[in-house]
Every structure is written in C-alpha cells, then in structure tokens.
C-alpha cells in the first residue's frame, strides 16, 4: 500500500541554463527518500461521490489500480501537499490527476476534513499503513459532477452504492486501511448508522 502520487516530470526552469529541472516545490527521489525517514508528510485524500438533487450521496467512486508488485487493489484519490500549496489547491490537483480534467469536483466550502488519518510504516500502530513512510492525511468527501476518466496509475473508477462501498468484499480490496476511511466518509454524510 502507499499513499502515493508520483512527482510530475521535471519542468523547464527558464532562469536556469541547465535545461529541465524539478519545480521548486518538488523533491528529487533521493530527497524524498531522506525526508520520508525523518518527517511525516502531509497528504490529502478524497472519496469521490455522486449526489442527487437534495445533496444525498447516491454513489461512491473507488479507484482500481495495480500496485508496485502487480496486485490489483482499490484505493482513493490521494497525494502529497506541496510546499506553498493550499489544501484546496492540493485536493483539486489530485482529483484532476486521478479522475481527469472533466470530473468537475465540487470542493468543500470549508477545508475541514471528515477525518485525519495517520499512516505508519509498521502495521498495528493505527488502522492505516504505508510501508514507505509516516504520513498524515486529511480526508474529504468530494462530489463530482462530470465524466471521470482515471489517469496516473489508476486503471478505472468503479461507482457503487454507499452500501456496496462499505461491504466486506470491497473493504478487503481497499489498500492500507482505507476501508476505515470509506466507512467514516459514509458515516459523515449520514449513509452509515
């Protein structure tokens, strides 16, 4: 499992004659590895939902992806917050990266998450695990109104009822303890008793 989103390809730095350089908010692979061993990193996660005219959740979107060892797993939209980036900007960036530019997410008016999840590299410390790092994630329920065409490492998005999303079958497929996040998300919108 990983709370992942790869850094983008390096971008040209017009002030530097060296050609292509990483942007100032991105870390090289070596820097990221060193920081992961020293500090918890901040992430945002989103549970994409479809809502009816009254704002009631009718469907939950769960991503299907192949992990680093080739296993097919389910996950949520997630990724790091860059230095100097607001939570809203990070959330929008990762929704667009994972769901495509035509997803049209409706970001929450308040940046208060429904849950703060703390990921540890060792199982058993919390409900959430990430073998690479200690990470803190702010989790949001985000309605999307457009067409979702997963990108990055996501293979597809599966839309299911809230009941299906919290079922035992789907829970077993969600990586890193994210089944607890989906259940908390559904509880926060009144879909779980």
Average pLDDT over every residue of 80-101: 94
Mean pLDDT of the chain: 87
Q: What is the pLDDT of residue 13?
A: 41
Least confident of 67-71, 81-85, 148-152, 180-184: 67-71
CATH superfamily of 32-189: Nucleoside Triphosphate Pyrophosphohydrolase (3.90.79.10)
Nearest residue to 184 via CA among 47, 20, 6: 47
What pLDDT band is residue 24 in, cutting at 50, 70 and 90? low
Q: Which tens digits make up the pLDDT trace of 82-92?
A: 999 999 999 99
- Inform me whether the pLDDT recorded for 7 exceeds 80: no
Give the residue extent of every domain in the chain. Answer: 32-189
- Inform me whether the pLDDT recorded for 17 exceeds 90: no
What pLDDT band is residue 35 in, cutting at 50, 70 and 90? confident
Per-residue HEC secondary structure of the chain comes to CCCCCCCCCCEECCCCCCCEECCCCCCCHHHHHHHHCCCCEEEEEEEEEEECCCCCEEEEEEEEEECCCCCEEEECEEEECCCCCCHHHHHHHHHHHHHCCCCCECCCCCCCCCEEEEEECCCCCCCEECCCCCEEEEEEEEEECCCCCCCCCEEEEEEECHHHHCCHHHHHHEHHHHHHHHHHHHHHCCCCC
Cα separation, 112 vs 103, whole angstroms: 22
Tell me the pairing of strands 115-120 and 135-143. antiparallel
- Inform me whether the pLDDT recorded for 157 exceeds 90: yes
Least confident of 20-24, 27-31, 164-168: 20-24
Average pLDDT over every residue of 45-63: 97
Distance of CA 11 to the CA centre of its chain: 23
């Amino acid at each position: 499992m990983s709370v992942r989103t790869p850094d983008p390809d390096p971008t040209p730095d017009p002030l530097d004659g060296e050609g292509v350089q990483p942007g100032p908010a991105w870390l090289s692979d070596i820097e990221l590895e060193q920081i992961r061993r020293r500090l918890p990193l901040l992430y945002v996660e989103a549970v994409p939902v479809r809502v009816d005219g009254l704002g009631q959740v009718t469907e939950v979107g769960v991503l299907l992806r192949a992990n680093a060892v080739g296993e097919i797993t389910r996950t949520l939209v997630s990724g790091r917050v860059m230095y100097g980036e607001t939570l809203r900007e990070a959330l929008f960036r990762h929704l667009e990266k994972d769901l495509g530019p035509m997803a049209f997410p409706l970001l929450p008016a308040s940046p208060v998450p429904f849950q703060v999840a703390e990921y540890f590299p060792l199982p058993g410390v919390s409900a959430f695990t990430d073998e690479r790092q200690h990470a803190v994630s702010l989790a949001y329920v985000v309605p999307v109104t457009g067409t979702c065409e997963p990108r990055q490492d996501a293979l597809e998005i599966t839309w299911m009822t809230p009941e299906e999303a919290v079922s035992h079958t789907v829970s077993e497929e969600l990586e890193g303890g994210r089944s607890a996040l989906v259940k908390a998300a559904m509880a926060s919108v009144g879909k779980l008793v």
